[in-house]
């Protein structure tokens, strides 16, 4: 939450230069407060798992948030009960007249399929276009980030020789940007994907700013100016055992999936993995909500866009 101080307090300017949100008396007196409206477009097959992971990440802020879950009209989910979808999800048609302070577009297990061959691609493109005038800031995750980079900037993905799977080190590239405020110079984050986007293509795009990247996993975090579009290539929201569950699932299917890198102690999958990325995950989502949603969105939702 912002710190309220006197208008002329000398420390105010120093704190603001450190990207710490300081609210002066004038703004405090005139500020109205309401629930932040966040829409989550959940493209993952087992939606309950992703709901829990994202809600856990979003809960680490004193801001009051109201969540609306969106599902695709053009895709039938086979791994989530219909009753759950009917009770807790809305279609895009039901939500297209609304505006939201923030939106999350999740990953999806369709990365090895060409974008245009995904059965809901046209609807997703319509949603991403709609978000430009109906959402203050959009947070894209993994395949959702690849889809957003392709749709908005024409940056293509490519198939990796082997699955990028495990826990990897990333280095903060631009510490002055509030989205990475409080991050350590080097931090860990999980990845699980068969495809990647060229680092060079992202760096060469003048509209994108790279905030963190990895020698092994490539660009991890980038965004447009002002944070209207944010792209996260990994899965910071993953729980302690998500990579383990994915590994055991692939193993039980007879797939030749290697152990997730840097994840198990001594590469022993019988040992419960250490949770080493939760603090930075919480910080990433808190910074997004505070600096790019709460501070940027108008009080009157109708003024978004």
Catalytic residue among 39, 142, 222, 281: 142
Catalytic residue among 152, 170, 235, 244: 235
237 assigned to active site: yes
Catalytic residue among 51, 111, 213, 237: 237
Kindly give, in sequence order, each residue whose CB lies less than 8 Å from that of residue 119, ignoring residues fewer than 6 positions away: 74, 75
What's the start-to-end Cα distance of the chain, in Å?
25
Instruction: Give yes or no for a contact between 243 and 260, defined as CB atoms under 8 angstroms apart.
Output: yes
3-state helix, strand, coil in the chain (%, to 5): 35, 25, 35
Cα(1)–Cα(155) distance, rounded to whole angstroms? 36
| CB environment 177-194: b (16+ within 10 A), e (fewer) | bbbbbebeeebbbbbbbb
Active centre residues (catalytic): 142, 235, 237
């Amino acid at each position: 939450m912002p710190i309220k101080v006197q208008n002329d307090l000398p420390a105010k300017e120093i704190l603001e230069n450190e990207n710490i949100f300081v609210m002066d008396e004038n703004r405090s007196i005139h500020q109205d407060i309401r629930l932040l409206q966040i829409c989550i477009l959940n493209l993952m097959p087992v939606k309950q798992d992703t709901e829990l992971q994202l809600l856990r990440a979003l809960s680490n802020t004193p801001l009051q948030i109201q969540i609306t879950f969106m599902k695709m009209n053009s895709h039938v989910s086979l791994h989530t009960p219909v009753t759950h979808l009917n009770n807790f999800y809305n279609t895009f048609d039901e939500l297209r007249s609304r505006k939201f302070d923030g939106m999350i577009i999740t990953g999806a297990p369709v990365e090895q399929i060409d974008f245009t061959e995904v059965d809901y691609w046209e609807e997703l493109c319509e949603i991403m276009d709609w978000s430009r005038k109906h959402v203050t800031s959009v947070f894209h995750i993994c395949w959702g980030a690849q889809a957003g980079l392709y749709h908005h900037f024409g940056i293509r993905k490519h198939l990796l020789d082997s699955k990028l799977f495990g826990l990897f080190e990333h280095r903060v590239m631009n510490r002055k940007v509030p989205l990475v405020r409080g991050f350590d110079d080097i931090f860990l984050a999980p990845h699980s994907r068969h495809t990647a986007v060229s680092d060079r293509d992202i760096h060469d795009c003048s509209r994108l700013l790279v905030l963190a990247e990895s020698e092994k996993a490539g660009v991890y975090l980038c965004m447009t100016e002002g944070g209207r579009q944010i792209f996260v290539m990994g899965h910071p929201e993953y729980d302690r055992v998500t990579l383990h569950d994915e590994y055991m699932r692939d193993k039980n299917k007879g797939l030749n999936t290697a152990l997730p890198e840097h994840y198990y102690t001594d590469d022993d999958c019988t040992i419960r993995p250490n949770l080493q990325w939760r603090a930075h995950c919480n910080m990433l989502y808190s910074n997004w909500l505070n600096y790019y949603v709460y501070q940027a969105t108008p009080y009157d939702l109708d003024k978004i866009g």
